[in-house]
Each structure stands twice: as structure tokens, then as C-alpha cells.
Amino acid sequence: MSEDLDPFGPRAAALLSTAHEYVSDISEQLVSAFHRGLFRHAGPGDVIALLPPEQFAHAWAKPLAQLRRLLDPDIDRDAHEREAIAIGQINSFLGIKTSWLVDSYALYLELLLQHLGPWIGAPEERASIRSAVTMRVMANLSAQVRGQEMLARAEQETVSRIVGLSQGATTFNDLVRQTLDLLVTLPGMVAGTFARPDNRGDIQYEIVVGETMERHVASLIAHNVVPTIREDDPRGHGPSGRAWRSNEIQQALVIASDSTLTPWREYAHKLGYVSQATIPLADRAGCPRALLTLYHSWPGYFAVPRRINLLNHIRAGLETVIAQGAASGYVISYPARTAYREALSRGDLVMLYQPVVDLRSGELVKVEALARLDKHDGTYATPGDFLPAFGEHDLRQLFALGLRQALRDLRDWQDQGLGTSVAVNLPTQAFADDEYLRIARDILRDSSIEPERITLELLENGEIDSAQAHAKLLPEWKMLGVRLAQDDLGSGYSSLIRMEQLGVDDVKIDHGLVRTATQAPHKALRFIYHLTHLAHDVGIRVTVEGLETAGLVEAAAILGADFGQGYAIARPMTAFDISRWRHAPLAIEPRRPRTALGAYATMILRNALVILAGTRSDFLHAILSEPCGLAYYLRAHNLTDTALGHAHARLFNCAQAGAHSLGYEDARQVVETLLHAHILSEASAAFVLDSRRPKRRPPAGRAQSARRDVARRPNPR
């Protein structure tokens, strides 16, 4: 009959009612025996010993209560199973092995049956009671083991999903946030942060996941209790500081008992953080770049070997991405990131526009739309401020809002008689995410603007799968009828190959390279020359951006670039100002340069022809008989009878025998060196003149008109 006994049925309840009364006076002895068996093992016992009395009582309230109710005749089967599964997860939090749990329940059952042994009753009834007790214990043990297995599976599934993130996330911000989102869904995990130190060494939380930390991170910052990486500061002795300096994962088994975490004990207690682990994320050279910290509600969670493997796996995945250049920008605090994202969601986007002119005629041919976030204090946040804070959803929203606003402004200019086109930045991810294509298609469909007046400038901030782009998305982008441009050419990983693979209509030479022309004219101007001719050979137009001086404008035009953009032409302005902006003709004469940089550009062209002529005397004579731009510059600036003028005369004489003749290369280098000194002198004079010019704030009316312009339109949300 005992074999068919249901341990939670009416018969077992009646039997256990008597047994429960009999063993109630030794329940504490039973619990003590169980715990002695459980915590005699190294690991869990060490962790439990660190718990303050208050936390110990809180931590073990449910397990002890469940153990005391094990023989309760009125307990419901489902309730018992739910409780036991939860206790099994707690055991797993502590790293209690199944074999240890079996041993402890064996001690518990042995002591229990010993006390039931002398109980007076019929043999068959005694056997039934012993059977009911044993089956209750085994059911409890089985459910607890199931709870441990459920947690182990959840952790394994989390690892698998994190692996998939590296293939699916298109921004580093999204990768980190989604990783933390997955981790905080694990039982007992309460929060996670991604942080980097600022220039003082103080840790700045940049990505925060977990409701408790999201609510209190501002308080940590306000009370200056954020960790630091400095060893000479008490705030640098905790896991964060140690992880950064050692480049090894650091943890606190029990925050309340860890003396290095004294400044944060009150916060940890308030937020329910009992243990933590901090993972340093290093670059390819092994230098820490960021810290990922996880917080758990149970002691010693991260000390379990399986969790250590989990932490190492997370570290390896994120470090692979960091090695590719992610997390290299400046630190943006969590409150600032939140403010930027909220501003975008509110529609606080203002598009400024910078003119792009034809370098032959000076006519306006296009404007580049530049996104700004209105800070409502008369200033704007630039992309350098807010883009590092954005994830993929934010970038899509930014693209959609910016494109809509640019098309509205283009239509307004058209109504005012200004016919031009507009360029809008397109993130590299657009060639791996067809959502951008859908956004562009929908906006263009709803607009009356001809697609060919829109240029989408592909930002070179990451590699894309060119095969995928050609096979799928690139033809679809082309079908929209828009022009495609490669932005910042020269700053990426393989610009020339990329230019050909993507089949763009225009390219823009990186302003960062152009701005080095004063200090390194040889490199910058030759790059413009060679890239321009290469692009023209395949039918691609070239825009040089970053033209901040008259010399740069002149040099770019002389070297053959089609269009120019930069402060020497016009600064970014509101849509209202664009409609009233006019640019004077550039009046650039390639054979009559007015600046030292322009003269340097003519020298590059002439040298290329001399090299091309080789030893063909008739071709060489024809080249040298043409007016020389550098000679014109020397005469115009009374430099003929100077060291530069004499060096130029010597170069001309050497050139008569060709570029490979004795002395030609040395003479050319002397001329370049002396001409460089004049380039520096002109740049210095221009800087002094600019610094003496009165600095005026932009007219308030213009900034207000930009905001009014946005305000009077339908809310883009």
C-alpha cells in the first residue's frame, strides 16, 4: 500500500499530521543538521560566513521556512514545488553542488527517521509514515535540483544569445546595452553598468541597465561617490579600480563585508546589491578601455566557476569589438546620454546647412545638412557630442527627422526661387539594415522634391559587407534616384577600394587630412591631386571639405577638385540664412596663384608633367615654356631675388634635362622646403588677423528663427 502512497495526498496528510506533531520539537535540530552538511564545503561556507547577521537572516528566511514546512500535512503540491525550485536557484546562486545537496538531505532524513523510529504504532502505519516522509524529502530534493538545472540552462542560453548579439548589433552602444539587458534577466541579477574613466580618472557611467541603478545613478554622481581608477584615492580600492589597474576581473563576494566598498555600502543596501563583479575590457594591446560591472542580489554569485566562465565569455566577446576601434571616443555620462536621447525623442533637432560651391565659378551647387540638438540656451549640441550616445534606434530616428527637415527646407528654398540640392549624412549601417531604405523610400514618396536633388553621404565609420551591399541593398538605394557620396574619404580603412565597390557618384576628401596642409603640404596636396584624378577617371566628382583658408580653396581648385566646402567659403547657417546667402566669384587662376599653398599646388602639377615627359625633349620643352605658377607667385610677392627665388631658378635649370637628371630631385626638395616656410608665414598672418577681428555672438534673431522654423512645422514625432 505504501508504494501507491501520494506524499501530498489525503492519506499522507493524515499520517504526516501525527508525525509533524512528533518531530516539531526537534525541527531546529533537523535544520541545523541540514546546514551543517551543506556548509561544511569550501565556497558556500566561506561566503555565508561573510554575511552580516541581518543579511544572513534575510537571505535564509525563505530556505529555512521551506525546510521547516517540509512535513506540513496541509502543504499544497504545486506550492511546495514552486518553493523548492526557488530554493534550488538560491543553492545555485551560492554554488552548492547537487552532490552536496544530496548528502545534506541524507543527513536530514537519517536524523528524522531516527526520531520517528521509536514512535509507537502499528508496523504498517510506521512504514507508511516513513515512506511519506521519505517521499516528501525526495520530492523536495528533486524540485531543488530542477531549480538548479533551470538556472544553469538560463545562463547557458544567455551566453548563446550574447554570442548572437555580436553578429546582430550594428553599434557598440547597442551591443553593450543588449548584453546588459540579457544579463539582468537572469534570476537574482539586479543591475549592470558600462563605464569609462574621465580625464580625472573618475568612473563615468555611460550605459546603465536595471531599474534600481537607473534611478540612483544621478545620486551617486551628485554625491561624488563614483569609483575612480586612482590608487591614491579610497574610491579606487574597490573592484572597479582594481580591475582597471590589474586588467583582471575583480569581485566582491559580499559587498556589506568588503572594506574596499565602504563608500558604497549604504547605496548597495538600499538598492539590494549583495555581490558584484567588474570586468575590465581591454584593447588589442591589453590596455583597459572600459569597465562592465554586474550586481546580484545574492552573496558569492560570481565566485562560482560556471559564472567565472560566463564573465570571461562576456569579456572576450566585447573585447573583440573594442579591438576593432569601438569605445574609442570621449566619455559621455549616463545623464548626458539620457538627455541627448530624450532631446531627439522630443524633436529638438535643428538642421544647419553649410554651402558647397563650384570651385570654378563660386556658384552654390549644394548644401550639406548638419544635425544639431537644440539645448534651449542659445547653443546647439553637435554630432560629436551626441552621436556616441546613440544606439541604432536613435540613429534611425535621427536620419528620418533630418531627412524630413532637409526636404522641407529644400522645398521652402525652391518656393523662394533658390534652386539647389541638399546632402544628408547616411550611417554606414544603412547598407546592412534595410530599415533605413524603407525610411528613405517613405519620406521621398511623400515629398515633391526630385530624388536626384538629394545626396546621401555615406559616413565612413565602420566596415560593411560590400558583397551584401552589392547583392541586395545598393541596387535598391540606386533605384530611389538619389545620388550617393562617400564622406570623409581618406580617413577610413581602405578608401579607394570602398569608393569603387560602393559605386558612389561623389566623394568628399576628409577635412582632417586637408587641415594638415599647412604643416604637411607635401602629403595633403598630393593626396588631393592623386585622388581627384583617380576619381575623375571613373566618372566620380570630388568635393574637398575643411577649406578654412583662401590658400586651401585656391590649392583645391588648382589641383582639379570640383567642389569646395569650409569656413573660408561659409560657415554652417540656418535655413533662413541660406536663402539669403550669396558667394562672390572665386576668381581663381591656376597659372596665377595668389597664395603660397596655391603656388605649391601649381608646382605639384608641373612636377607631374615633367615626370610624365621623361626624356622626350620636345614634350619637356613645351611644358617648361608654359607660364609657371610658382614664378608668377614669386614675382607678385617680390620674392624673385630671395633664397626661394634662387632655388626655383636652379630647379628650372635642372628640369631642362628631365626629372631624372642629376640635381633635379634635390632642387625640388629645396624649393618645397623654402615654399613651406611661406605657407606657414601666411597661415600665421591670417591667424593674427582673425584673432584681432571682433568676436560677435551670432545674432539672437537667427538662432531664434531656426527654432521658430522648427516650431512652426508639424511635430516630426
SS3 per residue for 93-140:
HHCCCHHHHHHHHHHHHHHHHHHHCCCCCCHHHHHHHHHHHHHHHHHH
Question: Which of helix, strand or coil describes residue 700?
Answer: helix
Tell me how far the alpha carbon of residue 80 is from its chain's centroid: 46
Helices (H), 471-545: 474-479, 495-502, 511-514, 521-537
Q: Does the pLDDT of residue 631 top 90, yes or no?
A: yes
**Cα 218 to Cα 222: distance, rounded to the nearest angstrom:** 6
Q: How many CA atoms lie within 13 A of 331 on its CB side?
A: 18
How many other CB atoms are there within 10 angstroms of residue 676's CB atom? 18
Q: Please name the residue that has the C-alpha cell 544569445.
A: 161
Retrieve residue 25's grid coordinates: 520539537
Among 284, 244, 236, smallest CA distance to 264 is for: 236
**Cα 376 to Cα 356: distance, rounded to the nearest angstrom:** 28
**Cα 590 to Cα 555: distance, rounded to the nearest angstrom:** 9
Identify the weakest region by mean pLDDT among 236-245, 286-295, 455-464, 695-704.
695-704
**Cα 664 to Cα 669: distance, rounded to the nearest angstrom:** 9
- The residue type of 604 is I
Phi, psi of 196 (to 5 degrees): -140, 155
Rg (CA), the chain: 37
Identify the weakest region by mean pLDDT among 45-49, 207-211, 244-248, 651-655.
45-49
How many other CB atoms are there within 10 angstroms of residue 587's CB atom? 10
Mean pLDDT of the 387-409 span: 94
Are 378 and 328 in contact, with CB atoms under 8 Å apart? no
Identify the weakest region by mean pLDDT among 161-170, 437-446, 615-624, 651-660.
161-170
Are 279 and 288 in contact, with CB atoms under 8 Å apart? no
Q: Which strands, in side-by-side order, build the sheet including 203-209? A: 203-209, 189-197, 288-296, 275-282, 250-252
* Predicted pLDDT at 168: 67
DSSP 202: B
Phi, psi of 95 (to 5 degrees): 85, 25
Among 511, 556, 513, smallest CA distance to 362 is for: 556
By the 10 Å C-beta count (0-12 exposed, 13-18 middle, 19+ buried), 505 is classed as middle
Question: Which of helix, strand or coil describes residue 282?
Answer: strand
Phi, psi of 662 (to 5 degrees): -65, 125
* Predicted pLDDT at 706: 44
11 — alpha (psi -120 to 50), left (phi > 0) or beta? alpha
Burial 637-672 (b: 16+ CB within 10 A, else e): bebeeeebbebbebbbebbeebbeeeebeebbebbb
Fold of 349-579: TIM Barrel (3.20.20)
Kindly list the distances between the CA atom of residue 478 and the CA atoms of 64, 498, 503, 561, in Å, as whole numbers in the listed order: 68, 16, 9, 24
Kindly list the distances between the CA atom of residue 404 and the CA atoms of 343, 424, 468, 578, 703, in Å, as whole numbers in the listed order: 17, 10, 27, 17, 20
Identify the weakest region by mean pLDDT among 299-308, 618-627, 694-703.
694-703
Retrieve residue 491's grid coordinates: 580617413
**Partners of 267 in the beta sheet?**
none
Mean pLDDT of the 180-206 span: 95
How many other CB atoms are there within 10 angstroms of residue 78's CB atom? 9
Q: Please name the residue that has the C-alpha cell 538560463.
A: 154
pLDDT of 421-441, one tens digit each? 999 998 877 877 889 999 999
- pTM tops 0.75, yes or no: yes
Q: How confident is the model at residue 464 (pLDDT cuts 50, 70, 90)?
A: very low
DSSP 698: P
**Cα 540 to Cα 421: distance, rounded to the nearest angstrom:** 17
pLDDT of 513-533, one tens digit each? 888 888 889 888 998 999 899
By the 10 Å C-beta count (0-12 exposed, 13-18 middle, 19+ buried), 21 is classed as exposed
Q: Please name the residue that has the C-alpha cell 553578429.
A: 167
Kindly list the distances between the CA atom of residue 345 and the CA atoms of 120, 349, 398, in Å, as whole numbers in the listed order: 76, 9, 9
- The residue type of 189 is M
Are 424 and 480 in contact, with CB atoms under 8 Å apart? no
**How many percent of the chain have pLDDT more than 70?**
88
Q: How confident is the model at residue 584 (pLDDT cuts 50, 70, 90)?
A: confident
pLDDT of 237-292, one tens digit each? 999 999 999 999 999 999 999 999 999 998 898 999 999 999 999 998 999 999 99
**Cα 630 to Cα 613: distance, rounded to the nearest angstrom:** 19
The class level of CATH for 172-322 reads alpha beta
pLDDT of 23-78, one tens digit each? 666 667 777 777 777 777 767 667 777 777 777 777 677 777 777 778 788 888 89
**How many percent of the chain have pLDDT more than 90?**
50
Mean pLDDT of the 152-176 span: 86
Among 71, 81, 67, smallest CA distance to 32 is for: 67
Listed as own residue / partner, the contacts of 280-288 with beta carbons closer than 8 Å and 24 or more positions apart are 280/243, 280/244, 280/246, 280/247, 280/248, 280/249, 280/315, 281/315, 281/318, 281/319, 281/322, 281/327, 282/247, 282/319, 282/322, 283/319, 283/322, 283/323, 284/323, 286/247, 287/247, 288/243, 288/244, 288/247
Retrieve residue 326's grid coordinates: 569601438
**Cα 196 to Cα 292: distance, rounded to the nearest angstrom:** 9
Retrieve residue 15's grid coordinates: 499520517
Are 133 and 109 in contact, with CB atoms under 8 Å apart? yes
Q: Please name the residue that has the C-alpha cell 566561506.
A: 46
By the 10 Å C-beta count (0-12 exposed, 13-18 middle, 19+ buried), 5 is classed as middle
Give the CATH H-level superfamily of domain 2-156.
Globins (1.10.490.10)
Across all residues in the chain, what is the average pLDDT? 85
Beta-strand runs (E) in 185-244 = 189-197, 203-209
- CATH topology agreement for domains 172-322 and 349-579: no
286 — alpha (psi -120 to 50), left (phi > 0) or beta? left
Beta-strand runs (E) in 359-476 = 364-374, 380-381, 422-426, 454-458
Q: Does the pLDDT of residue 488 top 90, yes or no?
A: no
Domain borders along the chain are 2-156, 172-322, 349-579, 597-692
How many other CB atoms are there within 10 angstroms of residue 115's CB atom? 15
